[in-house]
Structure 1
Amino acid sequence: MRSNNRLRWAQSRSGRRSIAVVAALAGSALVASISGAKTLAAPNRLGSFRLERAAGGTFSSDELKGKTAVLAFCRTGQSYSEHVLYDLRELAKQLPEAAIVAVFSGPSDAQEIENYRKNLGLDFPILLDPQWKLYSQLGVVVRPTVWIVDGSGTLRFEIAGYHRDLKTLASADVAFLAGRISEEERAQRVKPSKAPSFEGAAGPSVRYKLARRLIESGKREAARRQLELAWSEKPPLAIAGIELARMLLEEGKSKEALAILDKALPMAPDDPMGLGTKGLALVAQDKEDEAIPLLRQAIEAGAQEPMFYYRLGRALERRGQAAEACGYFRRGFEILLERLEKASK
C-alpha cells in the first residue's frame, strides 16, 4: 500500500515537480555519496600553519600575509613534481611580486629534496609536511597540486595534477588577482594549450580518472581543467568530453555542451550518459522532438539517471502521451528512492 501511494504521488503534478528538484540533486551532489565517495566542501581559506624548511628553520603562514602566493604540493620520487619545481623556479623570475612556496607532504627523501634545490637552483622556500597536516587541512587530492592564494589568505584557484601549461595558468591567475588583467582575459589565457606534452606526461585517460576523483571531492574547477586537457588531446577522449558537457549543462551552458557532444558522441555512439546528456541539452534548447529519441536510447542502453526519465516523461506528457509519460515518471521516482535509501545508509 505504501509503495502504491508513493507511485500515485509520483504521477501527480506536485510529485513530478518534487521529482524534478530531487533528480537535479541526484544527478550532481548525490553522485559522490551514492558511489561511496565522500564529498568534501573545498576550503576557502589557507588558515594558519608553521612548517620546517628543508634548508633549516621554520616558515609560517604569517610570512604570506598581504602577498599573492603560489603554493605547490609535491612529493619526492615523482617526475611530475620535479617538473613543477622547475616551473616554479621560472615563475619566481616572472612573478617577483608573488610568494612561491613548495611543500613536500608525507614521508620525503631529504637528500632528493636537497638535490632538487641545488640542481635546479631553487631559492624559494621548500617546506616539509611529514604528518600531512597542511595537505589534509587544504583537502589536497593529488600531488602535484598548486594553489593560488590571494593576499587575504583566500584560496582562489587550484591546479591539480601536472599541467604542461602550469606557468601560463599560474601567471594568468596571479595577474588577475593583481588587477592587471580582467576575468575575461584570464579565462582566455587558461584555455587548454594545443602544444605537445612533454614525454611521460599524463595521458587523457589518466586525466579523466583524476577529474573523477576531483569531482567526488567537490573540486569542480580543478576537475574541469583536467577534463578540458583530456578533451583537447589528439585523439580526444570521448568520455572526458561527455563529462565536460555534463558539467557545462549543469551550469546552464547547453549550447557549449551540445558543441562538445556533437564531436564526442560519434566516437562513443552507444554511450548512455552521452546520449542522455545530449537529450537534456536539446531539451534546454527547446528541441524536444530531437531529444526524445536520444533519451529513449539512453534509458534503453541502461542509463539510471532520474533526470533522463523525468525529462522524457515531461516531453511525452506535453505530446498527449500521458500513460507512457507516467511510466517514465514512475521508474524515475523508483530510481530516486533507491538512491536516497542507499545514500542514507
Structure 2
Amino acid sequence: MKSVFGVLLVTLLVFSFYIENKSDPTSLSKSTFQQAEAYDQLIDIEEGEVSETTPVDHLPGPNVGDRAINFKLDSLDGKSITLSELKGKKVIVNFWATWCPPCKEEMPVMQEFYTKYGKEVEVLAINIDPQYNVKEYQKSLGLTFPILLDTDDKINNAYDILTVPTTFVINEQGIITHKQIGAITNIDSLTALIK
C-alpha cells in the first residue's frame, strides 16, 4: 500500500512540475527529480522506523542552534530560578523523573559534575513528576544542585520532551549547543559537552 502511494505521489509531483514548466521543457532540472526521489525515500520508511538520513537536530522541541526557551520555576528549597537570569554562564538543563531508572543512574554523574564544575556551569534538574516525594529522592541520592519542579508540565511541554532523561547544554548567550536524549553515564561524556 505504501509503495503504491509512493509511486502515485512521485507521479503527481513529476506531472505537476511538467504542467508548470511545459512552456519550457528544459526547465525540468535534475533537482526536480532528486526532490521526487527524496519523497519516495520518505514514503518507503516502515511505520515507526526512522530514516537513517534524518538529522538528529530535527527532533521535536528546541534543538542545537536554537535559543533556549526561557522559564521560571521554583526549586525544592522554595527559590525561584529564571533561566534568562543565568545569561553569561553555561547551563545544563536536565529533564528527569523519580520513576525513571536511567535518570537515577545519571544523577550521581550530574552530582559529580556539579561538585567539580558548579562554579563555572550551572546545573538545573527539572523534575516532571513533582507529585511524588522528590525531596526524599534528592536526600537519598545526596544531590546538591538545584532541582526545579515543573508542577503544571508547562516547561516539559514547551521543550517537547519525549523521553527522560533529556539534557540540554546552553551557552553563555542562551543558545543550545548540545541536546542529549538518554542518560549521560559518565562525567567525561558530560564534561566533553560543555567545551
Name the TM-score, length of structure 1 as normaliser. Answer: 0.42
Q: Cα offset for 1:86? A: 1.4
Once the two structures are superposed, what CA deviation does each residue of 1:129-188 show, in whole Å capped at 9, x if it has no partner?
A: 1222112222322110111110111111011012434x22220121x2xxxxxxxxxxxx
Residue 158, structure 1, aligned to residue 179, structure 2: yes
Equivalenced residues, count: 165
Output the amino acid matched with 2:36.
V
Output the amino acid matched with 2:62.
A
The 8 Å contact of residues 82 and 116 in structure 1, kept in 2 or not, is answered as no
1:6 aligned residue = 15
2:73 to 51, 55, 66: 51
Q: Cα offset for 1:84? A: 1.9
2:36 aligned residue = 22
Q: Cα offset for 1:14? A: 5.4
Instruction: Find the aligned partners of 2:94 and 2:140 in 1 and give their Cα distance.
Output: 19
Q: Cα offset for 1:108? A: 2.7
2:6 aligned residue = none
The alignment partner of 2:136 has SS state of helix
1:147 to 156, 168, 178: 168
Distance verdict in 2 for CA 1:54–1:133, change over 3 Å: same
Q: Which has the higher contact order (CA 8 A, sep 6+)?
A: 2
More strand by share: 2
The 8 Å contact of residues 54 and 126 in structure 1, kept in 2 or not, is answered as yes
Instruction: Find the aligned partners of 2:153 and 2:44 in 1 and give their Cα distance.
Output: 28
2:55 aligned residue = none
2:4 aligned residue = none
The alignment partner of 2:149 has SS state of strand
Once the two structures are superposed, what CA deviation does each residue of 1:259-296 show, in whole Å capped at 9, x if it has no partner?
A: xxxxxxxxxxxxxxxxxxxxxxxxxxxxxxxxxxxxxx
1:134 to 155, 161, 164: 155
Output the amino acid matched with 2:173.
S
2:121 to 75, 82, 98: 98
1:124 aligned residue = 145
2:192 to 153, 172, 191: 172
The 8 Å contact of residues 103 and 129 in structure 1, kept in 2 or not, is answered as yes
Matches for 1:158-237 after TM superposition, within 5 Å? 158-165=179-186, 167-174=187-194, 176=195
The 8 Å contact of residues 53 and 125 in structure 1, kept in 2 or not, is answered as yes
Runs of 4+ more than 6 Å apart: none
Instruction: Find the aligned partners of 1:140 and 1:31 in 2 and give their Cα distance.
Output: 27
- Pairwise CA RMSD of aligned residues? 3.4
Q: Which runs of 5 or more structure 2 residues have no equivalent in the other structure?
A: 1-10, 19-24, 51-57
Identity, in percent, stands at 20
Name the TM-score, length of structure 2 as normaliser. Answer: 0.70
Q: Which runs of 5 or more structure 1 residues have no equivalent in the other structure?
A: 177-345
Once the two structures are superposed, what CA deviation does each residue of 1:312-333 show, in whole Å capped at 9, x if it has no partner?
A: xxxxxxxxxxxxxxxxxxxxxx
Instruction: Find the aligned partners of 2:135 and 2:89 in 1 and give their Cα distance.
Output: 26
